[in-house]
Amino acid sequence: MAKKFFCKRRQIYNEDDTDGKRIVIIQTGGIKTKQKPEIEKTHDSGLKEYSKSGDKQNFKLEVPSLTYLEKYILKYIIGQDAQVRKIITSIYKSIKFKTLKSNILIIGNSGTGKTETIKQIAQRLHIPYTIEDATKYTQEGYYGDDVIDIIFNLLENCNYDLKRAENGIIVIDEIDKKVGHNASGVEVLKSLLKIIEGTKIKVPLNPLNPLDNRLYDFDTKKIIFIFLGAFSGLENIRKRRLNINQLGFLANEGENGKKQDTRYIKRDLIEYGMPEEFVGRIDTIIEMNELSQESLTLILKRSKLSILKKYQSELSEMGIELSFDDKLYECIAKESLSLDTGARELSNTVNYIFENIIYDIMANPKKYHQCTLDLDIVHDNTRYEMS
Ligand X SMILES: Nc1ncnc2c1ncn2[C@@H]1O[C@H](COP(=O)(O)OP(=O)(O)OP(=O)(O)O)[C@@H](O)[C@H]1O
Q: Which does 303 bind (CB under 5 to 8 A by kind): ligand X, Mg ion, none?
A: ligand X
User: Of the two residues 162 and 171, which places its CB atom closer to ligand X in the complex?
Assistant: 171
User: Of the two residues 35 and 115, which places its CB atom closer to Mg ion in the complex?
Assistant: 115
User: Of the two residues 195 and 307, which places its CB atom closer to ligand X in the complex?
Assistant: 307
Are 9 and 152 within 8 A, CB to CB?
yes
User: Of the two residues 154 and 378, which places its CB atom closer to Mg ion in the complex?
Assistant: 154
Size of the site for ligand X (CB under 6 A): 20
Q: Which does 230 bind (CB under 5 to 8 A by kind): ligand X, Mg ion, none?
A: ligand X
Mark residues 90-109: x for contact with ligand X by CB under 6 A, - for none. ------------------x-
Residues in 90-119 that interact with Mg ion by CB under 5 A? 115
Are 284 and 104 within 8 A, CB to CB?
yes
Alpha carbons 66 and 271: distance in angstroms, whole number: 35
Residue 88 touching ligand X (CB under 6 A): no
Residue 360 touching ligand X (CB under 6 A): no
Spell out the residues 6+ positions from residue 250 whose beta carbon is closer than 8 angstroms to its own: 242, 243, 244, 262
Are 6 and 204 within 8 A, CB to CB?
yes
Are 107 and 287 within 8 A, CB to CB?
yes
Closest by CA to 291, choosing from 108, 81, 112, 115, is 112
| Helix 66-73 × helix 114-125 angle, to 10° | 130
Residue 133 touching ligand X (CB under 6 A): no
Q: Which does 285 bind (CB under 5 to 8 A by kind): ligand X, Mg ion, none?
A: none
Q: Which does 91 bind (CB under 5 to 8 A by kind): Mg ion, ligand X, none?
A: none
Query: Looking at 269, 300, 322, 343, which residue binds ligand X (CB under 6 A)?
Result: 343
Query: Looking at 73, 102, 113, 158, which residue binds ligand X (CB under 6 A)?
Result: 113
CB of 88 to ligand X, least distance (A): 14
Alpha helix ranges (H) inside the chain: 2-15, 20-28, 66-73, 81-96, 114-125, 148-156, 162-166, 183-197, 234-242, 266-272, 276-281, 293-301, 307-317, 327-337, 344-363
CB of 304 to ligand X, least distance (A): 9
User: Of the two residues 116 and 360, which places its CB atom closer to ligand X in the complex?
Assistant: 116
CB of 81 to ligand X, least distance (A): 10
Q: Which does 112 bind (CB under 5 to 8 A by kind): Mg ion, ligand X, none?
A: ligand X
Alpha carbons 292 and 14: distance in angstroms, whole number: 52
Q: What are phi and psi of 4, to 5 degrees?
A: -60, -45
Residue 299 touching ligand X (CB under 6 A): yes
Residues in 300-329 that interact with ligand X by CB under 6 A? 303, 305
Q: Which does 4 bind (CB under 5 to 8 A by kind): Mg ion, ligand X, none?
A: none
Q: What are phi and psi of 315, to 5 degrees?
A: -65, -40
Give me Rg for the CA atoms of the chain.
Answer: 24
Are 218 and 166 within 8 A, CB to CB?
yes
CB of 69 to Mg ion, least distance (A): 21
Are 287 and 328 within 8 A, CB to CB?
no
CB of 59 to ligand X, least distance (A): 30
Q: Please give the residue ranges that form the binding site for Mg ion (CB under 5 A).
A: 115
Q: Please give the residue ranges that form the binding site for ligand X (CB under 6 A).
A: 77-80, 108, 110-116, 230, 291, 299, 303, 305, 342-344
